[in-house]
Chain A
Amino acid sequence: MGAPPDISAAAAFMERRHRWRPAEALPWLAAVAAFFLFPDYTAFGTQVLIMILFALSLDLIMGYAGIVTLGHAAYFGAGAYAAGMLSAHLGWGEPLTGLMIAGLTAAAVGFVSGVVLLRYHGLTLLMLTLATAIMLQELANVQEEITGGFDGLLGISIDPIFGLFENDLWGRTYYWYALIVLFALFLIARRIVYSPFGQSLSGIRENVGRMHAIGSPVHRRLVTVYTISAGMAGIAGGLFAQSNAFVTLDVLSFARSGAVLIMLILGGTGRLYGAFVGATVYMVLEDELAKLSPEFWEFGIGLLLVLTVLFARRGLLGLIEDLGARFGKAKP
């Protein structure tokens, strides 16, 4: 006798949960299409891709594990300075190893700070994340012989990718470079999210008390995902340093930590693709609104954020999903 249909349906659901859905091709097709449709905007597009990666790293800890942070720029900045200083001081211009070192440096910073920070929660944790980023920024400011301090880190020179692809004036090469790096890291993030480990992160977000009660090593899980997230943010920072050939204290700023948080909330947390929607909408709006009114673009972003948190609690992506569901139902 086979299992009753409801049981096999549930088992089948678990087995299919992680499969790719057709709609998941959309952001990647859009990224490729954008390259050809907006040839004058590839440098800007590269920065969007970098911020998507940064927001994606935040989604792992905030959207999945429920860690709210106001200091995620600490790891973006650590990666940016690692990649920048590698070239500026050691003459190491090979981009891929540079990115790896950026990621490892940020992951190390993430691990050390995470071991301490993640013993706390709520407001204490929020303040500690903020303080971590401020302290790192101040450290970079004071150590101006190696970081360039307030004036920024100059003299970054990056070799052609694989020794073949030189970056051009419009940053076309770097667009593809950033897109491929984003895709590779997205694949990793996606695997993590659908794994039992990823499931346990959702458990920590939903009810940390019960996680302790079912025997979960909560602190170890959080430190693990925090380290991975920091490493990813560091690679985003490394891409930023390489593509701009310039690093300033701004990479560690509170404004950057805040911006990535807003991007993720705009797009929708805990759904991977929220980072894509949020970062793109935020940066395009920032760019367009700044052209319209250089002084008031933040007002526009602020208004959008207010509308999102009031009327689309699951972010713009959640809104799209809801509309899609309604539309799908209306049209059988």
Chain B
Amino acid sequence: MTAPLLEVRGLTKSFGALDVARGIDFRLGTGDRHALIGPNGAGKTTFVNLITGVLRPSAGQVLLQGEDVTALDQAARTRRGIVRTFQINQLFAGLTVLENVYMAVAERRGAANDLWRPAGAHREVTGEALDLLEKLRLQDDALKPVHELPYGRQRLVEIAIALGSRPKILLLDEPAAGVPSAESHIILDMIEDLSDEIAVLIIEHDMDVVFRFARQITVLVSGAVLTGGAPEDVAADPRVRDVYLGEARHG
């Protein structure tokens, strides 16, 4: 049996007496569409931070295609294909939309080490960045400073940058958060159109989005996996309802 694309074993993170992740086991395979849900403070973003290397776990392992990447920093994991977007936009605010995406493509292709040839002479990088912008219907904004875009379109740039790193695993941290519903469908359509070669883990509060998108769901409560499985099973699970109705008293 081949190793799964991403495997997380017993992932634990403590800040002093506070356990923000407790022995999480998790798997993601190529083409998976997985949603991570849970109440506020359940440790969803912490989990993403542990997978991507922003945080080092207190115990446990992260394996990418069977290879232990727990000791690698964030940048090294990105280069291996574990890529994320942020709940709050992390853009290069003063630069143009094109330059924002160029940045990620140039890093992935190694062009960013070139300190002599002009950036524009790397046509393959510009071309790929523009293809991504076209795919996300951002081409008209290519030369605008990204901070001049409306928030919904900035969210698209956030995703375009991540795609520029050509992820094997894409972790989307509330991709449609703060986007007016008139625009959020663009983001959701785009996520649905993502290649089957990419495994996607989405953190989302909006249950409509979760059930539309996910083929598997993991429920995180107080840093631990409460349950997981197919959407209909999770939806039927009384414990999940308890958590969402606020009847359970966790942490």
Interface residues of A (CB under 8 A from B): 3-4, 6-7, 9-11, 13-18, 191-192, 194-200, 202-203, 206-207, 209-218, 221, 224
Across-interface contacts of B47 in A (CB, < 8 A)? none
List of B residues within 8 angstroms of A13 by Cβ: 98, 142-143
> Contact between A206 and B143 (Cβ–Cβ < 8 Å)?
no
> Hey, which chain B residues are within 8 Å of A214, CB to CB?
75, 78, 83, 103-104, 107-108, 161-162, 164-165
- A/B pair count, beta carbons within 8 Å: 146
Pick from A6, A7, A198, A215: contact of B119, CB under 8 Å: A198
Q: Are A14 and B102 in contact (CB under 8 A)?
A: yes
B168 within 8 A of A: no
Question: B30 interface residue, CB < 8 Å from A?
Answer: no
Given contacts A15-B120, A15-B121, A213-B90, contact A197 B143 (CB under 8 A): no
* Contact status A195-B107, CB under 8 Å: no
What are the residues of chain A within 8 A of B162 when measuring CB–CB? 214
A207 touches B90 (CB 8 A): yes
Chain A interface: which of B17-25, B62-70, B123-131, B188-196? Answer: B123-131
Chain A neighbourhood of B117, CB < 8 A:
195-196
CB neighbours (8 Å) of B54 from chain A are: 212
Q: With contacts A10-B98, A11-B127, A199-B99 known, is A216 near B139, CB below 8 A?
A: no
Distance A283 CA – B30 CA, assembled complex (angstroms): 63
Given known contacts A195-B114, A197-B115, A17 and B120 CB-to-CB distance under 8 angstroms: yes
How big is chain B's contact interface, by range?
Answer: 35 or more
CA distance A199 to B96 in the complex (A): 11
Q: By DSSP majority rule, is chain B's interface helix, strand, loop, or mixed?
A: helix
Is the pair B121, A216 in contact by a Cβ cutoff of 8 Å?
no
Chain B: which residue is nearest A18 at the CB level? B118
The dominant DSSP class at the A interface is helix
**A215/B78 contact (C-beta < 8 A), A10-B98, A14-B126, A16-B120 known:** yes
- What are 27 residue pairs bridging A and B, where the CB atoms are less than 8 Å apart in the complex? A7-B142, A10-B130, A10-B133, A13-B98, A14-B102, A17-B120, A18-B118, A18-B120, A195-B115, A195-B117, A196-B122, A197-B112, A199-B99, A199-B102, A199-B106, A199-B112, A199-B119, A202-B94, A203-B95, A210-B90, A210-B161, A213-B84, A213-B86, A214-B83, A215-B79, A215-B165, A224-B115
Closest to A200 in B: B112
Residues from chain A with a CB closer than 8 A to the CB of B78 are 212-215
| B:104-161 near A, CB below 8 Å | 104, 106-108, 111-123, 125-127, 130, 133-134, 139-140, 142-143, 161
- Smallest beta-carbon distance B46→chain A, Å: 16
B207 at the interface (CB under 8 A from A): no
Hey, which chain A residues are within 8 Å of B99, CB to CB? Answer: 199, 202
Query: In the complex the two chains form, is B98's CB within 8 Å of A197's CB?
Result: no
**B91 interfacial by beta-carbon distance below 8 Å:** yes
Within 8 A of A (CB), among B38-69: 52, 54
Contact call B90/A209, Cβ cutoff below 8 A:
yes
**B119 & A217 in contact (Cβ 8 Å cutoff):** no
Q: Are A202 and B116 in contact (CB under 8 A)?
A: no
Question: Given A7-B142, A194-B118, A195-B117, do A200 and B90 touch, yes or no (CB 8 Å)?
Answer: no
| Residues of chain A within 8 A of B52, CB atoms compared | 213
Please name all residues of chain B whose beta carbon is closer than 8 Å to the beta carbon of A221 when the two chains form the complex: 112
The answer to whether A7 and B134 touch across the interface, beta carbons within 8 angstroms, is yes
Q: CB-CB < 8 A to A198: which residues of B?
A: 115, 119
Q: In the complex, what residues of A have CB within 8 A of residue B106's CB?
A: 196, 199-200
Pick the contact of A210: B92, B94, B113 (CB < 8 A): B92
Residues of B close to A9: CB separation below 8 A: 142-143
Closest to A194 in B: B118
